[in-house]
Amino acid sequence: MPVLIISALVAISAFLAIRAEYFGPRSKVYLFKPLTVLLIILIALQTKNQTSHVYRIAIIAGLLFSLMGDIFLMLPRDRFIQGLVSFLVAHLCYIAAFITEGNRAFSTLSLLPFFVYGGLMLHALWPHLGKMRAPVVIYMLVILLMGWQAASRFLVENQEGSLLAFIGSLFFIASDSILAINRFKTHFKSAQALTLTTYFIAQWLIALST
């Protein structure tokens, strides 16, 4: 029941954060965006879990670095690089969690879709990246590695927790893809809503995987 209650609060806070992005005031974005992730962290902190202590700690660490990234990205000044680095570390934490809990499972078959998707995204973004090419490529490699590890873990374990983490990783990749397209290629009005919706769902599912 506590997880259901917290999840409902996550949905309300996420809605208010997305609404504030479009209708303001900006102070509500500063409140509800980090609050949503803090509530998601509370889910991962629930003691009734079936995963190892190491897995839970790594997931919580990833959520905390994500929270840091959120704060950098919503500041009035452009802190994109700092936010990118924060989320990069968050994905490394998630990778560590998936490897530790998944008995170092590496499914080469599941790598192919991520490899193809990464190639298509780079092809679409490359002419527009400029000086950001190296940071974006590094970040893309890490998040795709995170998705691959989540997929490999699910294919080996085929458990509910690993499925939640896998779906969460796909939502995370979708969120960052929308953000990158909106920032570097084509700006579109619904980008913020799509980015935040998929992002909050991703973090919620990864937290539930504990």
DSSP the chain: -HHHHHHHHHHHHHHHHHHHHHH--HHHHHHHHHHHHHHHHHHHT-S--SS-HHHHHHHHHHHHHHHHHHHHHHSSS--HHHHHHHHHHHHHHHHHHHHHHTTT---HHHHHHHHHHHHHHHHHHHHHHGGGHHHHHHHHHHHHHHHHHHHHHHHHH--HHHHHHHHHHHHHHHHHHHHHIIIII---TTHHHHHHHHHHHHHHHHHHT-
Q: Is the C-alpha dihedral spanning 74, 79, 80, 81 positive or negative?
A: negative
Q: What is the pLDDT of residue 86?
A: 95
Which residues, including other chains, have CB under 8 Å from residue 196's CB and lie 6 or more apart? 14, 17, 18, 21, 33, 175
**C-alpha neighbours within 13 Å on the C-beta side of residue 80:** 11
Q: What is the pLDDT of residue 152?
A: 87
| Mean pLDDT for the stretch of residues 144-173 | 92
Task: From residue 139, give the alpha-carbon distance in Å to each of 5, 75, 81, 180, 201.
Answer: 34, 21, 11, 11, 20
| Mean pLDDT for the stretch of residues 118-128 | 94
Q: How many residues are present in the chain? A: 210
* Terminal alpha carbon distance of the chain: 16
State the Cα torsion 171-43-12-62 to the nearest 10°.
-50
| Mean pLDDT for the stretch of residues 140-163 | 90
Q: pTM of the prediction?
A: 0.93
Q: How far apart are CA 133 and CA 130, in angstroms?
A: 6
Q: What is the pLDDT of residue 79?
A: 85
Q: What is the pLDDT of residues 64-107, one digit of tens each?
A: 999 999 999 888 777 888 999 999 999 999 999 998 875 555 66
> Considering the chain, what is the average pLDDT of its residues?
91
